[in-house]
Chain A
Amino acid sequence: MKAIRFLIAFTLLSIIAVPGYGQAKKKQVLNLFCWSEYVPQEVIDGFTKETGIKVNVENYASNEEMLSKLLAGGSKYDLIQPSEYVIEALIKAEKLEPLTLENIPNIKNLDPKFTKLPHDPEGKYCVAWMAGTVGIAVNTAKVKTPVAGYKDVFNGTHKRRIVVLNDSREIVSWALATLGISANDMTPENLEKAKPILAEWLPQVKVYDSDSPKTALLNGDVDLGIVWSGEAAILWSKNKKFTYVLPSEGAHQFIDSLAVPKGAPNKENGEKFINYILKPEVSVLISDAFPYTNPNAEAVKLLKKSQRDNPASYPPGEPKLETYKDIGKAAKDIDKLVTDLKGGKK
């Protein structure tokens, strides 16, 4: 018995001391913390082949998850892939390393529209990965009336046939948009104004899904929904009956970027990776897999016509778009508002 216990103690110690043992700087690695299903495996493999750097990938399914893990500490990441408002918050909290732009010459390939944006005015903390919008996907085989904005979605004729993102901030911003209020103006007074609108809208929703809202549309469980543009793009490429409309009241444009967190052990490797994905032929691979809006002007030139024609990936015209800014403490109030209404509180 004593022998067994000794064995157990020994095993415990060896397990802690060995596999959890981080690698010393002799071996070149890159710890990539990215959205699940946003970085194609071929891109990662191509990078390793070209540079010899091993890529350790960890995934998350929302910005908040990423923030949770990043801030709690415990793992050292070299690259993260936040959305624009998170970058702003991170810069404010001094959690990002400024990039050494000389290491990223390919940055010239970016469309100037996607550089020096409000969340990173000096353009030195992040490099745009993919952009997109949140808009209305419509199954035109089922929905015959015109849908131009949020009000049309929730006018009562599509009761319980709607899917929306499970994102409190998005949901509230749509209500505010119909009132002409900016999505970044989340004051308690504005939230009060949004409340009656949402109280009318939310009971009409059948499914809340941020991960794969296209599933409900494809399965015929819903007829229309407010979804990410990439999801709508995939729907359109599968069946042209799924159209995508940017709401007339105003839509959210999001920009996901690559950034280096403070204290990253392999910062240069991270910059090498950024430089690699800015190559037009590599960027095309990303667009092939994830049909969002590619900010790389050189890459867009190389895309197929069917990709450039996709109304969800590259919306025509000059739609009314707005990027999110960090709203700090208001995140808590928004979540409370939506949860209360979902729960049936009047």
Chain B
Amino acid sequence: MPSGMPLVNLLCAGWSGMVFLFLYIPIILLVVYSFNASELSFIWGGFSFEWYGKLWRNTALIAAAKNSLIIAAITTVFSVVLGTLGAWLLYRYKFPALRSLSTLIFIPMVIPEVIMGVSLLILFTVLATPLNQWLATFSEGYFENGFATIIIAHTTFCFPFVLVAVQARLSGVDPFLEEAAMDLGAPPLKAFWLVMVPYLLPAIISGALMSFTLSMDEVIVTFFVSGPGSQTLPLKVFGLAKKGLDPSLNALSTVFIVATAVFVVLADRMRKLNR
């Protein structure tokens, strides 16, 4: 290895360690205090599973958590599709309105969440009336704010993040990669699928992670476009702040963390098995 590189790598590793520690301090605290018998967060009152019991009985909170997971998953799928396709198309084609299109995609990332929430709510309200009239012709149901509207809203501001991540990876790619595949007789769409996508995968994954995170944690826009029966976890937590957060939320966070850790380890094992 050339000189200087091991040192650089070592420094980066150490630095990363410290940053990770910084990221995890509140998390560790959350986990520790989820077992705290005393309700006041900063006094240790002894070990207890009390809050997990309370969490288990809090059906509303668990239902909200489920909603959040479903919404985040679907949002991520949509965002990845829209974002990856969009990034690739922007890269591949050149036309006069290209720059305007880029600016347009940029807007949902920039617009303050309240604005987006309110404007989408009004849009859905305006759409609901004719939609309901059409529905009324053959059924008794009616359209109202719920999962669909939340997913649409989340996807709208999540997919630009995927797009940006994929574009970062696209610039500087060998332009003849695709050409080569097509020269070998593959139709353009297949060339994309078999050549581009694997290359873009790291960026797609990082974009997907961002999208999932954004959706799980989103409060403001969700507040405006949700309806009764589609309450998400951040919304419930946002409301709980009024009474003062109680440790059953710490318990919930711990459950999430443990579940994710287990999932990651399992996925890793399965991948190693496949090799």
The reply to whether A20 and B122 contact each other, CB–CB distance below 8 Å, is no
Chain A residues with Cβ under 8 A from B144's Cβ?
A: 20, 22, 74-76
- B161 part of interface (Cβ distance < 8 Å): no
Of the listed stretches A57-65, A82-90, A180-188, A274-282, name the one at the interface; the rest are far from the partner chain: A57-65
Which has the most chain B C-beta neighbours within 10 Å: A19, A68, A238? A19
The reply to whether B118 and A72 contact each other, CB–CB distance below 8 Å, is yes
The reply to whether B228 and A20 contact each other, CB–CB distance below 8 Å, is no
Partner of B239, one of A16, A59, A72, A77: A59
Min Cβ gap B188→A in Å is 9
Of the listed stretches A129-137, A209-217, A300-308, name the one at the interface; the rest are far from the partner chain: A209-217
A19–B149 alpha-carbon span in the complex (Å): 10
A61–B235 alpha-carbon span in the complex (Å): 10
A215–B39 alpha-carbon span in the complex (Å): 13
- B128 part of interface (Cβ distance < 8 Å): yes
14 further interface pairs, Cβ-Cβ under 8 Å (given A35-B242, A212-B243): A15-B148, A16-B143, A16-B148, A20-B148, A22-B144, A25-B140, A33-B228, A36-B236, A61-B241, A65-B223, A74-B227, A212-B244, A212-B245, A219-B42
A76–B143 alpha-carbon span in the complex (Å): 10
Partner of B147, one of A20, A24, A65: A20
- B238 part of interface (Cβ distance < 8 Å): yes
Partner of B141, one of A23, A68, A77, A238: A23
Chain A residues with Cβ under 8 A from B223's Cβ?
A: 65, 69
The reply to whether B143 and A72 contact each other, CB–CB distance below 8 Å, is no
Partner of B240, one of A23, A36, A60, A238: A36
- B91 part of interface (Cβ distance < 8 Å): no
Chain A residues with Cβ under 8 A from B146's Cβ?
A: 19-20
The reply to whether A36 and B238 contact each other, CB–CB distance below 8 Å, is yes
The reply to whether B125 and A61 contact each other, CB–CB distance below 8 Å, is no
The reply to whether B244 and A31 contact each other, CB–CB distance below 8 Å, is no
The contact string, 1 if C-beta is below 8 Å from chain B, for chain A 25-52, is 1000001110111000100000000000
Contacts A33-B228, A212-B242 known; A21 to B141 CB distance under 8 Å?
yes
- B60 part of interface (Cβ distance < 8 Å): yes
- B189 part of interface (Cβ distance < 8 Å): yes
Chain B residues with Cβ under 8 A from A25's Cβ?
A: 140
Chain B residues with Cβ under 8 A from A36's Cβ?
A: 236, 238-243
The contact string, 1 if C-beta is below 8 Å from chain B, for chain A 64-101, is 01001100111111000000000000000000000000
Chain A residues with Cβ under 8 A from B81's Cβ?
A: 8
A25–B227 alpha-carbon span in the complex (Å): 18
Chain B residues with Cβ under 8 A from A69's Cβ?
A: 121, 223-224
- A141 part of interface (Cβ distance < 8 Å): no
- A218 part of interface (Cβ distance < 8 Å): yes
The reply to whether A74 and B124 contact each other, CB–CB distance below 8 Å, is yes
A234–B231 alpha-carbon span in the complex (Å): 27
- B45 part of interface (Cβ distance < 8 Å): no
The reply to whether A214 and B148 contact each other, CB–CB distance below 8 Å, is no
- A157 part of interface (Cβ distance < 8 Å): no
Contacts A56-B229, A74-B128 known; A24 to B121 CB distance under 8 Å?
no
Partner of B189, one of A1, A32, A215, A218: A1
A16–B125 alpha-carbon span in the complex (Å): 14
In the complex, number of A-B residue pairs with CB atoms less than 8 Å apart? 111
The reply to whether B243 and A37 contact each other, CB–CB distance below 8 Å, is yes
Min Cβ gap B57→A in Å is 9
Partner of B228, one of A16, A21, A32: A32
Min Cβ gap A256→B in Å is 13
Name A's B-contacting residues (CB within 8 A).
1, 8, 15-16, 19-25, 31-33, 35-37, 41, 56-61, 65, 68-69, 72-77, 211-212, 214-215, 218-219, 234, 238, 290
Describe A's contact surface by its main secondary structure: mixed
Closest 10 CB pairs of A and B: A36-B239, A56-B228, A24-B140, A37-B243, A19-B147, A22-B142, A20-B148, A59-B239, A73-B125, A20-B146
The reply to whether B235 and A215 contact each other, CB–CB distance below 8 Å, is no
Q: By the criterion of a CB under 8 Å from any partner CB, how many residues of chain B are at the interface?
A: 46
- B40 part of interface (Cβ distance < 8 Å): yes
The residue on A at minimum CB distance from B193 is: A1
Partner of B242, one of A20, A24, A37, A57: A37
Chain B residues with Cβ under 8 A from A24's Cβ?
A: 140-141
The reply to whether B122 and A72 contact each other, CB–CB distance below 8 Å, is yes
The reply to whether B235 and A59 contact each other, CB–CB distance below 8 Å, is yes
The residue on B at minimum CB distance from A219 is: B42
A22–B236 alpha-carbon span in the complex (Å): 22
The reply to whether A75 and B145 contact each other, CB–CB distance below 8 Å, is yes
The reply to whether A20 and B229 contact each other, CB–CB distance below 8 Å, is no
- B221 part of interface (Cβ distance < 8 Å): no
Chain B residues with Cβ under 8 A from A61's Cβ?
A: 238-239, 241-242
The reply to whether B58 and A20 contact each other, CB–CB distance below 8 Å, is no
Chain B residues with Cβ under 8 A from A211's Cβ?
A: 241-242
The reply to whether B238 and A58 contact each other, CB–CB distance below 8 Å, is no
A96–B224 alpha-carbon span in the complex (Å): 21
Min Cβ gap A72→B in Å is 5
Partner of A41, one of B60, B149, B238: B60
Chain A residues with Cβ under 8 A from B143's Cβ?
A: 16, 20-22
Chain A residues with Cβ under 8 A from B74's Cβ?
A: 15
The reply to whether A74 and B241 contact each other, CB–CB distance below 8 Å, is no
A8–B141 alpha-carbon span in the complex (Å): 24
- B151 part of interface (Cβ distance < 8 Å): yes
A35–B243 alpha-carbon span in the complex (Å): 11
The reply to whether B148 and A37 contact each other, CB–CB distance below 8 Å, is no
Min Cβ gap B78→A in Å is 8
A57–B240 alpha-carbon span in the complex (Å): 14
